[in-house]
A and B are shown apart, each in its own frame.
Chain A
Amino acid sequence: MSLKLTLHTSPDVPLEAPCLNPDTLAGMTADIVAAQKVMHGNQAASVGDFFKVAGKANGTLELEGDLSRVKYIGAGMQSGILNVTGNVGQHLGAGMSGGDIRVDGDAGDWVAPEMRGGRVTITGNAGHLVGGAPRGSAIGMLGGEIIIHGNVRNETGHAMRNGLIAVGGTSGDFTGVNMLAGTIIVLGDMGNRSGAGMQRGSIVSMNPAEMLPTFTHACVYRPEFLRLLLLHIRSAGLPVNDDHIEGAYDRWCGDVVEVNRGEILLLNGA
Chain B
Amino acid sequence: MSETAKENIKIVKHATCTFCGCVCDDMELTVDMDAHKITKAKNACVLGRAWFAEHVIEDRPAAMVDGKEVSIEEAVEEAAQTLVKARFPITYGLSDTTCEAQRQAVAITDIIHGTVDTTTSVCHGPSGLAFQGVGESTMTLGEVKNRADFIIYWGGNPAEAHPRHFTRYSVTPKGMFTPNGKKDRTVVLVDVRKTSTAPVADIVIRVKPGKDFELLWALRALVKGKKVADNIEAITGVSMDTLTDLVERMKNCRYGVFFFGMGLTMTRGRHFNSGALLALATDLNEFTHFVAKPVRGHGNVTGADNVVSWQTGYPFGVNFNLGYPRFNPGEFTTVDTLSRGDADAALIIASDPASNFPKAAIEHLHKIPVITLDTKETHTSKLAHVAFTTATYGINTGGTVYRMDDVPITLRPAFDSPFPTDEEILTAIRKRAHELMLAKSGLGAAGGGGTQKVAAPRKE
Contact = CB atoms under 8 A, between A and B. Distances in A.
Interface of A: 12-14, 16, 39-43, 69, 90, 109-110, 128-129, 134-136, 138, 173-174, 177, 192-193, 196, 211-216, 255-257, 260
Interface of A is mostly: loop
Contact of B328 (A40, A135, A215, A257): A135
A110 B390 CA distance: 40
B1 interface: no
A211 B321 contact: no
Contacts of A16: 321-322
Given A13-B343, A39-B321, A42-B321, A193 B220 contact: no
Given A128-B330, A214-B218, A14 B342 contact: yes
Given A41-B87, A135-B129, A193-B214, 10 more contacts: A42-B87, A42-B320, A42-B321, A136-B133, A174-B269, A196-B213, A212-B214, A212-B217, A216-B229, A257-B226
Contacts, number: 97
Interface string B215-241: 001101100101111011001100000
Given A213-B214, A257-B221, A177 B272 contact: yes
12 contacts: A12-B87, A12-B344, A42-B321, A136-B327, A138-B133, A193-B269, A213-B231, A214-B221, A214-B228, A214-B229, A256-B221, A256-B228
Contact of B344 (A13, A39, A138, A174): A13
A215 to B, nearest CB: 7
B342 A13 contact: yes
A43 B89 CA distance: 12
Given A42-B113, A213-B236, A216-B229, A193 B213 contact: yes
A215 B235 CA distance: 13
Given A42-B112, A42-B320, A109 B331 contact: yes
Nearest to B283: A257
Interface in B124-161: 129, 132-133
Interface string B227-263: 1110110011000000000000000000000000000
B93 interface: no
A257 B321 contact: no
Contacts of B268: 173, 192
Contacts of B388: none
Given A13-B344, A173-B268, A193-B269, A256 B328 contact: no
Nearest to B328: A135
Given A42-B88, A42-B113, A136 B132 contact: yes
Closest 6 pairs (CB-CB, A-B): A41-B87, A42-B113, A13-B88, A41-B88, A213-B229, A256-B226
B329 interface: yes
B330 A109 contact: yes
B221 A40 contact: no
A216 B227 contact: yes
Contact of A213 (B86, B232, B331): B232
B394 interface: no
Interface in B177-202: none
B224 A257 contact: yes
Contacts of B213: 193, 196
B329 A196 contact: no
A192 B208 CA distance: 15
Nearest to B317: A135
A150 B133 CA distance: 29
A14 B332 CA distance: 11
B205 to A, nearest CB: 15
A90 B236 contact: no
A13 B220 contact: no
B235 A13 contact: no
Contacts of B331: 90, 109-110
A134 B328 CA distance: 8
Nearest to A256: B226
